[in-house]
Amino acid sequence: MAAYFSQFNGVEIFFLVCAVIGGAFVIIRFVMLLVGLDHDAGGDAPVGGHDVDGHHADSDVGFKLLSLQGITSFLMMFGLVGMAFYHQSRMGILISMLGGLAAGLASVWIIAKMFSLVVRLQSSGTISIESTVGSQGKVYLTIPENGTGRVLINVRNSLREYDASSQDNRRIETGAPVRVVWVDGNILVVETL
């Protein structure tokens, strides 16, 4: 092994070390993603009647240039392209360094663009209660006179269950088709169809 590395000079060893360090971390990170070891440890917690979101944005969500992914991808591409220019193409040190620098910056830019595209695909999945106005559904639990029951409402192709009261304070039986007229706090006000 030492005989193999003795054929390299200091510049080539520098490029090789950059490529190996960067590539090792990129591969480790990739394997961790595949086996599910790279996940968010946050969560939601009820505090004093309010939900507190404990999730935090890690570098996958908002890619930052000085993240572990950015630095390791830069080192890997800098080392690989610099080594290729210097050792294989017999370019000078300056051209090899500039080529490696350009390749490293390009890889960071491409990864940043990929992560920003992935972030745009995310959706919270939350449907606001106000978006139910005008939606139709049916009574799930009978709405008593001057009381509340439960309804199943189709909102944006998703079936949701809500507390509901009748618009005219009349009893509405289970299975009756209804439409949401307005929202009163967390209760839907519905009318029969």
Q: State pLDDT tens for residues 170-180.
A: 999 999 999 99
The pTM score is: 0.51
What's the CATH code, domain 129-192?
Answer: 2.40.50.140
* Chain region(s) in the chain for CATH 2.40.50.140: 129-192
Q: Tens of pLDDT along 36-66? A: 776 554 444 454 444 444 444 444 444 455 6
Q: Concatenated DSSP letters for 56-125?
A: ---TTTS--TTSHHHHHHHHHHHHHHHHIIIIIS---HHHHHHHHHHHHHHHHHHHHHHHHHHHHH----
